[in-house]
Chain A
């Protein structure tokens, strides 16, 4: 088991390195660097000025070297102002090392966000916390609801209740966040006027029922159907097992059989699915936070990507990849722990 986890962690690190490299490559494409240079110099800078700016700030150094600096395995050189001979920061709003030293992700230096005019490490935790709160409420709503629907549908396969719940689950998986967000806002905010169509106040004034219900509902609906269908399949399979028949034949009531015998075994498969939902939820987070103007991680990612904020995109990419890989690992390990029939080798 330990060897398995260690090997998985190794593969995980390799994956993260590869993906960071890919993101690094893409954000440092020439058109993006030019945009950055245009943004940082005056509007009417000539091509030569832009090139000089890029050259001076180390954007034209060897690519592998720059990646090494970002990771923190190669020393970062300070930018020296030619007039004064003093080291200057590349961006006014972030301090940078004044002498040559290792300062990358490994040392906790995520770089400088040009869009928010602060260091990435200052902006990111706040956004992650906001998204964490959103995710927490989504999970609270989504998981019990999905499990309940799945168990109810799967305990009597082919019944009317099963048909109805299955169609409802299919419909919910056919409703991406940007669709359900619009439908819910149109109904509950525009038409009935019950809820707040924007979650912007959740950041400043705290979470309330009226400003947080719509984002949570919108995000939960897409995943619910998927988890419910997995639970249903798993439940239906368990219900045909020998030991359930034995329990029924020895005279136990249906409800008791479902709760005491079937439920535990039926919930193993959905556990993996729920864990694997996290990366899926990430896209949902981005959409929902954009629709409802909630300034969390997803909103930050959109701002970073659309404003060509190189270091912030890199940090966001790293965090989301880490999240995806960690949940995969937890789901694999958890599956093995929960199900004694599975042995990792």
Chain B
């Protein structure tokens, strides 16, 4: 089979990423131009670690957004001649280059990695965000009120944290469990927290100004329950938001596994901030406890929380990879990185056709590395202030 050679591969890959390069150039130009006004994002560009983190994260973000332009083939298309083809091999029929070779089912490895980015970068941040809201909604009262609430919630959080992640996944993400109501009940409970959070947020702030309160509450409830219906009952009236049952299962498992971690951090922060003077001042003014928690304490906990969220997205990416690696949840055809790593890591596969497993592995590693670098430089920045 003809090949374009290693130089051809590098040039070919660089050329396929053209939308990403344009987007990155625009981002960089914007940052250089408005560095002063950007605050934290501008400061990130002061250190090499920060620049590296932002660039890697932005690279994968843009790749996920423009996946359909970058990837030459659909991730599920099989071209039987190209089975286990070497990187750079040329399809004799169409003349198309398989830049990173073909896998054992004769699919284009490059296209699969690109589309995998889309799956990972939708589920991981979304799951982390929901886990964050669950953790905040439960962690703030636990830290603020202490005593009974704290004991019960901390005990529950420690229960989940003492559970080995891998066993949790094997129990929660199996085909059998989708026949039962458990994933839907868990989704129903977990996805309720964001709605509760935003309703409380607006209510405590605007309860004296009903004209504003009603607008905010109405928007929250409509949007909230629209997404809720789409995710939990798969019954979005407009049909925009829908999720496969197995993806919902993964989503719920990942949220469930990472919420207690957020809870612990928020609880610790709340216990620390509770002793500050401005909290006593608000208490003396007679503010409602939830107002104090959400509008006085939460904004002051944002620094560590942002850093933690960044790290947590990386950790969630690793969890998703673990799920795929054990063949849990994701369909066998799914182009996500974990599944691809699993397929590529069988002994024979790894010995002879190592690029099939190595490519998604490097992709996953670089994304997590980017997120960790970003978190690290943000931590440095927040320590400076």
Contact = CB atoms under 8 A, between A and B. Distances in A.
A174 B162 contact: no
Given A29-B177, A317-B167, A321-B164, A174 B158 contact: no
Given A178-B322, A321-B162, A31 B177 contact: yes
Contacts of B172: 26
B171 A23 contact: yes
Given A176-B321, A179-B364, A291-B345, A190 B354 contact: yes
Interface string A184-198: 011001110000011
B361 A178 contact: yes
B363 to A, nearest CB: 9
Interface string A263-289: 000000000000000010011001100
Nearest to A185: B350
A298 B354 CA distance: 25
Interface string A150-181: 00000000000000001100110111101101
Nearest to B352: A190
Given A31-B179, A190-B351, A197-B347, A19 B163 contact: yes
A182 B164 contact: no
B345 A301 contact: no
B357 interface: yes
Nearest to B359: A182
B326 interface: yes
Interface stretch (B11-19, B107-115, B228-236, B369-377): B369-377
A247 B347 CA distance: 56
Contact of B159 (A18, A31, A306): A18
A15 B322 contact: no
Interface string B161-187: 011111100111001110110100000
B314 interface: yes
A183 B361 contact: yes
A170 B345 contact: no
A121 B229 CA distance: 47
Contacts of A306: 170
Contacts of B318: 176
Contacts of B177: 26, 29, 31
Contacts of A30: 179-180
A32 interface: yes
B162 A19 contact: yes
B379 to A, nearest CB: 10
A287 B325 contact: yes
Contacts of B241: none
A60 interface: no
Contacts of A282: 164, 166
A186 B321 contact: no
A204 to B, nearest CB: 16
User: In terms of DSSP, what is the predominant structure of the interface of chain A?
Assistant: helix
Contacts of A182: 341, 344-345, 350, 354, 357-358, 361
A22 B170 CA distance: 13
Given A186-B357, A190-B354, A174 B314 contact: yes
B49 interface: yes
A333 interface: no
A145 interface: no
A324 interface: yes
B167 A320 contact: yes
A79 interface: no
Contacts of B368: 174-176
A170 B372 contact: yes
Nearest to A285: B166
A305 interface: yes
Interface in B116-175: 155, 158-159, 162-167, 170-172, 175
A57 interface: no
A186 B166 contact: no
B315 to A, nearest CB: 9
Of residues B155, B342, B344, B368, which shows the largest number of chain A Cβ atoms within 10 Å of its Cβ?
Answer: B368
A301 B176 contact: no
Nearest to B337: A179
B123 to A, nearest CB: 16
Which of A179, A306, A316, A321 is packed against the most chain B CB atoms within 10 Å? A179
A293 B348 CA distance: 13
Given A27-B171, A29-B177, A178 B321 contact: yes
Contact of B176 (A11, A32, A171, A178): A32
A23 B167 contact: yes
Nearest to A308: B176
Nearest to B53: A170
Nearest to B156: A18
A231 B318 CA distance: 23
Interface in B317-355: 318, 321-322, 325-326, 338, 341-342, 344-345, 347, 350-352, 354
A182 B350 CA distance: 8
A35 interface: yes
A26 B376 CA distance: 39
A46 B353 CA distance: 45
A301 B326 CA distance: 12
A190 B314 contact: no
A15 B162 contact: yes
Interface in A310-339: 313, 316-317, 320-321, 324-325, 328
Interface of A: 11, 15, 18-19, 22-23, 26-27, 29-32, 35, 166-167, 170-171, 173-176, 178-179, 181-183, 185-186, 189-191, 197-198, 279, 282-283, 286-287, 290-291, 293, 298, 301-302, 305-306, 313, 316-317, 320-321, 324-325, 328
28 contacts: A18-B159, A19-B159, A26-B171, A29-B176, A29-B177, A30-B179, A30-B180, A31-B179, A32-B176, A171-B369, A176-B368, A178-B322, A178-B325, A179-B361, A182-B357, A190-B350, A190-B351, A190-B354, A197-B350, A282-B164, A282-B166, A283-B166, A286-B166, A287-B325, A305-B171, A313-B170, A324-B162, A324-B164
Given A15-B155, A185-B354, A279-B162, 18 more contacts: A31-B177, A35-B176, A167-B373, A174-B314, A174-B368, A174-B369, A175-B368, A176-B365, A182-B341, A182-B344, A185-B350, A186-B350, A190-B352, A283-B166, A301-B166, A317-B164, A321-B164, A324-B163
Interface of B: 49, 155, 158-159, 162-167, 170-172, 175-177, 179-180, 182, 314, 318, 321-322, 325-326, 338, 341-342, 344-345, 347, 350-352, 354, 357-358, 361-362, 364-365, 368-369, 371-373, 376
